[in-house]
Amino acid sequence: MVRMGANISATAAAAVVRGPAQLSGTTVQASDLRASAGLVLAALVASGETIIDRVYHIDRGYEGISRKLQSLGADITRIHAPSA
């Protein structure tokens, strides 16, 4: 989320998030299930387009998340990387 403009600092014991911050769309990488869900929510409020790579984490824990968010009005599209 820092890549998107969030003001976050972390230590071994805690993370401090300062806001408000205007988030901007960019390319990010899903690293685990909960972080992936957080990236989706951040992308929904960010200006511009956000691309989330490695969405298999999201798929593992949130069945049909794209469809469900679209039903709530989210502008979200699944894209597939071109085959090599």
Hey, what's the torsion of the CAs at 6, 7, 11, 14, to 10 degrees?
A: -80
What's the pLDDT score for residue 77?
92
Q: What is the pLDDT of residue 80?
A: 78
| Local structure of 50: helix, strand or coil | coil
Across the range 40-63, mean pLDDT stands at: 93
- With pLDDT > 70 as the criterion, what percentage of the chain qualifies? 95
Q: pLDDT-derived band of residue 81, with 50, 70 and 90 as boundaries?
A: low
pLDDT band of 8, cuts 50, 70, 90:
very high
